[in-house]
């Protein structure tokens, strides 16, 4: 048996082990990681190959799954053909699907297979976000998400020199020059730039959430759902050394990670609070737990395990959190609501209901919109424009 044939059989075996879980397990990435780590015969290149093939399967599941039982070799061939062409997949792809044409668009690939592009997103989600079913957005939904960095230094020369020495190429975003896109596969966590706190891994769309808001140096802000602190660190940078950021979360482990990141970056204006002050903040960020539908290109398993019931449950929690932390905003202060969801049930609908129940708040203008069009109090960050994940941000002011 050739190497490629052996790899194909291993891949199909891995799929069979994952198949009972990929429409039900919200933690499927951890299961995939454990599965690959448990195969002692795998080297690092093997794991990268099979990881890419598995995630390609999840992205294109409705095109691949129907072939698994009647024609598993065709399922493997379709997966190889659709997988990204990387140094780890190149030989396998050449040995599996070299006789198939390379086609530039999702529509062309769908036509070649006799499939429909629209099948690659849950049909029920069209009522939640029709925009991502449009061809341009759908194309991006099926592409691998890029690695974005946020600079945490005013002098990026050292970062550029280190990346250059490693032969890594990067590119600043035209929308936000302090956000760099990596143009090659790279483990930036092993660089001096990362361990010295000069860069953080943060999707550009996530960065645009706070960059869209007018935040004054010296202000006191509350990050009410801080988690591991990606936006907390960005917020601390925006308020500057004269400002402060209080970080609150119900998950101690996440806050511990945030403090480690803050220490690495040399940030000293963040403090943990279990009891945020009432009415004392110039701004409150409620980056609420959500369905994660904005991250489907990065976490494709979520397309097949997310349900309308899950979104309804998240929306109820979001209502509660927004109402709870609104009391912490000082008169004239800013309340910012954000999600990594593209469902209007978690976004516009939540904000509309909040404003109806809290007449003391009103929509506030955005400082920057980055080419997106505000709707009411909210701005939806769709992935295609700047090659990001999807996000939503609402800008409110206390009267």
Q: Residue 196: CA atoms inside 13 Å, Cβ hemisphere, count?
A: 10
Active site residues: 340
Q: Which helix (H) or strand (E) holds 222?
A: strand 220-223
Q: Which of 289, 292, 263, 270 is nearest to 223 (CA)?
A: 270
pLDDT of residue 318: 98
SS3 label, residue 201 = strand
Report strand pairing: 391-398 vs 329-339. Answer: antiparallel
Rounded Cα–Cα distance for residues 291 and 303 (Å): 10
Map out the domains of the chain with their CATH numbers: 3-118 (no CATH), 148-202 (3.30.70.1170), 205-398 (3.40.50.150)
Q: Choose among 146, 218, 148, 216: nearest CA to 178.
A: 148
- 356's CB contacts (< 8 A; 6+ apart) are none
pLDDT of residue 58: 98
Give 355-370 pLDDT, tens digit per residue.
Answer: 999 999 999 999 999 9
DSSP string, 104-133: SSHHHHHHHHT--GGGGS-GGGGGT-GGGG
For residue 362, the cross-strand partners are: 397
Residues in contact with 87: Cβ distance below 8 Å, sequence separation at least 6, in sequence order = 185
C-alpha–C-alpha distance, residues 333 and 284, integer Å: 8
Q: pLDDT of 155-182, one tens digit each?
A: 899 999 999 999 999 999 999 999 999 9
Please write the tens of the pLDDT for every residue from 197-248.
Answer: 999 999 999 999 999 999 999 999 999 999 988 999 999 999 999 999 999 9
């Amino acid at each position: 048996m050739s190497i490629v044939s052996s790899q194909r059989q291993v891949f199909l075996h891995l799929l069979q082990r994952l198949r009972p879980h990929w429409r039900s397990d919200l933690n499927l990435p951890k299961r995939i990681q454990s599965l690959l780590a448990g195969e002692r015969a795998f080297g690092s290149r093997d794991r990268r190959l099979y990881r890419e093939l598995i995630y390609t399967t999840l992205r294109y599941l409705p095109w691949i799954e129907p072939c698994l039982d009647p024609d598993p070799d065709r399922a493997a061939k379709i997966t190889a053909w659709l997988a990204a062409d990387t140094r780890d997949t190149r030989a396998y792809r050449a040995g599996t699907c070299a006789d198939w044409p390379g086609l530039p668009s999702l529509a062309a690939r769908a036509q070649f297979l006799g499939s429909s592009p629209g099948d690659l997103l849950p049909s029920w989600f069209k009522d939640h976000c029709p925009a991502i079913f449009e061809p341009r957005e759908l194309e991006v939904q099926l592409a691998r998400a890029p690695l974005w960095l946020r600079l945490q230094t005013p002098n990026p020369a050292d970062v550029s020199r280190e990346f250059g020495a490693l032969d890594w190429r990067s590119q600043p975003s035209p929308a936000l020059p302090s956000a760099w896109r990596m143009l090659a596969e790279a483990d930036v966590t092993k660089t001096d730039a990362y361990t010295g706190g000069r860069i953080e891994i943060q999707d550009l769309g996530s960065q645009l959430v706070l960059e869209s808001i007018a935040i004054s140096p010296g202000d006191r802000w509350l990050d009410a759902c801080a988690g591991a602190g990606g936006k907390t660190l960005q917020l601390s940078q925006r308020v500057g050394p004269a400002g402060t950021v209080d970080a609150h979360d119900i998950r101690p482990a996440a806050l511990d990670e945030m403090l480690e990141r803050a220490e690495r970056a040399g940030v000293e204006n963040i403090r943990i609070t279990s009891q945020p002050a009432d009415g004392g903040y110039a701004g409150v960020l409620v980056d609420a737990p959500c369905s994660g539908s904005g991250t489907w290109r990065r976490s494709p398993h979520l397309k097949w395990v997310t349900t309308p019931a899950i979104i309804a449950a998240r929306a109820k929690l979001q209502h509660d959190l927004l109402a709870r932390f609104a009391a912490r905003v000082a008169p004239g202060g800013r309340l910012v609501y954000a999600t990594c969801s593209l469902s209007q049930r978690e976004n516009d609908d939540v904000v509309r209901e909040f404003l109806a129940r809290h007449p003391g708040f009103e929509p506030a203008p955005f400082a920057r919109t980055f080419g997106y069009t505000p709707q009411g109090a909210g701005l939806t960050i769709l992935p295609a424009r700047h090659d990001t994940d999807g996000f939503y941000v609402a800008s409110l002011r206390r009267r």
